[in-house]
Amino acid sequence: MNDFVELLNDLILSPSRKKKIDLLKIFFCKSNLKDKGWAFCILTNRMDRKFVSVKELKELIIENYDEDLFRFSYDYVGDLAETISLLWESNNEKNTKINLHEFMEIFSNFDHKNKFKTKLKYFLDRSSENQRYTIIKILTGGLRVGVSNGLIKEALKLSGVRKKSEIEEFWHGFKLPCTDLFEWLDGKKLPKYINRKKLFNSFMLANNYNSNEFKSCKTDDYIAEFKWDGIRAQIIFSEDGKIFSRNGEDITNSFCDINTFIKGYFVVDGEIVVKKNNKVLSFNHLQKRIGRKNPSKKLIEDYPIHFIAYDILFYTSVDCRALDLIERKKYLNRFINICKFSNISTSSLIKFSSWDQLQNIKETSLNNHIEGVIIKKKTSLYKKGRVVDGWYKWKRNPFSVDFIIMYAQRGHGKRSSFYSDFTFGCWVDEQFTKLVPVGKAYSGYTNDELKSLDRWVRNNTVERFGPVRSLKPGLVVEVSFDNINYSSRHKSGVALRFPRFSRIRWDKPISQVCSLKYIKDLIN
């Protein structure tokens, strides 16, 4: 296990991509097959479940440590695994020497909740700080050690006989504990359970639109489509169809009202939205469906799903990814004609003859649930990731409103010494006497601005409640947000989507900030 503990620690501290790849390569070379497999599963977050929840971990630490001291520490460190690993008092004499795969086998075969905690405590008691950190990170999943899948593919390519493109094709097929992946990399046959036609395919992604780059581009070479505010999905239509989310997660059950059963094999890329009475509804509505594994009949009726298809990767035996966009669109239309499912449609193309005109369409579109437009080069092939000369997203200009800062809270982790999370609000009415909180923002400022904000907070505190400070009304900030909707969950009655600071108005008097009525009028 210690090799893996060291690997994680080194990966966290290594600043360069090359060094990280080297570290992984060395680890994959020297470790035994079983350890390699498990390490791969951990690094690529391939576990079928979380072994332990945040709640259970908190319970464990509180059973063994002063609860308040834990809370103060957690508030400061921001990372649960790190907090626990630093607080836990271990007995180093009992130090355990267990292999990574032995450790993983113990925990992946565990199903008794209470004994699980005892077992985890057993290991924490016998570990060093670094080992504890690794153990907890493994069991909670989501390592965040700055290792992308791309980096791991790079390291695997270097240690085996397979090409990167081959690794890419079968990447999503290998199952826990992935020892067969490493055998395959060494030249053995693919495991029988891998069926290429059931695997998720990597998505093509959009770059950000840059008006300078497009100035000289002919609009004739591009198509444009609306960017709907839904979730990206890949649907495999076959006799054993599947729906995958943006990161390849199987979400078939959550969206069971989309029929994926069809003879043949078609892989379609598009956006999942909620559509009722011929109208696409806001993301808030879609949120009711996300994460529900077995939606009730009522939920399905209240929030019916619609799939807006915009690309096709496979049309039976044709690998459309190697065809240009216009050809692919033809295949997509043929597929839509075959399937005839009422809740699947193609994304319509926007007619435009200049970039200015497209911008105008994007900004004036009456539909509130359009985030902007996507521009796609007609000759582009379907490739993984963000491709130059491929797709570009051009978002709508955000709303922008001045608010007054009301509360500040210390950040987490690396921002834990700064007041970086701000609650802002506006006047309740035109009398300018009472404020109501409207939203929270914790981004959009530079590091220098953060320092000035932090200083302002410390000098204008009225009251302190733990990590939160209540502030004297005095500082105006311009806040940008992508959208605004009514909300019964907020005191103000409105909810902003992705609010962030766009400017700090040190100069502006608070009497010039608007009232809640003005904000509500922004909703269409």
Partner 1 sequence: MRKTNINWLKKKREGLYCVPGNFFIDPVFPVEKALITHAHTDHARPNNKSIFSSKETIELMHLRYGESYCSDFQIASFDEKIKINDVTVQILPAGHILGSIQFLINYKGYRLLISGDYKRTKDKTCLSYEPVECDTFITEATFGLPIFNHPNDESEVKKLIKSIKANVNKTHLIGVYALGKCQRLITLLRNLGYDETIYLHGALTKISDFYSKNNIKLGKISNISDCSRSEYANKLVLCPPSSLNDKWSQKFKNVVKGYASGWMRIRQRVKQKNIELPLILSDHADWGEILKTVNDVNPNEVLVTHGREEALVHYLTKKNFKSSALNLIGFEDENE
> In angstroms, what is the minimal distance from the CB of 302 to partner 1?
42
Residue 142 found at the interface with partner 1 (CB under 8 A): no
User: Checking DSSP bridges between strand 500-505 and strand 476-481, what pairing results, if any?
Assistant: antiparallel
Residue found under tokens 């594994």: 293
Nearest to partner 1 of 87, 477 (CB atom): 87
CA distances from 403 to 398, 464, 478, 511 (A): 15, 21, 6, 11
Q: Degrees (nearest 5) of the Cα angle 156, 157, 158? A: 90
> In angstroms, what is the minimal distance from the CB of 133 to partner 1?
8
> In angstroms, what is the minimal distance from the CB of 77 to partner 1?
6
Using the rule CB under 8 A, which residue among 18, 334, 351, 414 binds partner 1? Answer: 414
CA–CA distance, 375 with 379 (Å, rounded to integer): 12
Site string for partner 1, 351-390 (x = CB under 8 A): ----------------------------------------
Whether the CA torsion 189, 28, 48, 149 is positive or negative: it is: negative
Nearest to partner 1 of 73, 343 (CB atom): 73
CA distances from 480 to 437, 447, 506 (A): 16, 18, 17
Q: Which pairs count as long-range contacts for 285-290, CB under 8 Å and 24+ apart, including other chains?
A: 286/230, 286/231, 289/254, 289/255, 290/231, 290/254
Burial-class residue 317 by CB neighbours within 10 Å (0-12, 13-18, 19+).
Answer: exposed
Site string for partner 1, 91-130 (x = CB under 8 A): ----------------------------------------
Mapping DSSP onto H, E and C, the string for 138-187 reads HHHCCCCCCCCHHHHHHHHHHHCCCCHHHHHHHCCCCCCCCHHHHHHHCC
Q: State which of positions 435-474 bind partner 1 (CB under 8 A).
A: 458, 466
Nearest to partner 1 of 76, 107 (CB atom): 76
Residue 80 found at the interface with partner 1 (CB under 8 A): no
Using the rule CB under 8 A, which residue among 79, 257, 302, 327 binds partner 1? Answer: 79
Nearest to partner 1 of 13, 62 (CB atom): 13
Nearest to partner 1 of 70, 315 (CB atom): 70
CA–CA distance, 37 with 19 (Å, rounded to integer): 21
Q: State which of positions 8-67 bind partner 1 (CB under 8 A).
A: 12-15, 66
Residue 68 found at the interface with partner 1 (CB under 8 A): yes
Using the contact rule CB under 8 A, the part of the chain among 30-38, 82-90, 119-127, 177-185 near partner 1 is 82-90
> In angstroms, what is the minimal distance from the CB of 15 to partner 1?
6
> In angstroms, what is the minimal distance from the CB of 409 to partner 1?
14
Taking the chain, what is the end-to-end CA distance rounded to the nearest angstrom? 58
Residues binding partner 1 (CB under 8 A): 12-15, 66, 68-69, 72-73, 76-79, 82-83, 86-87, 133, 413-414, 416-417, 458, 466
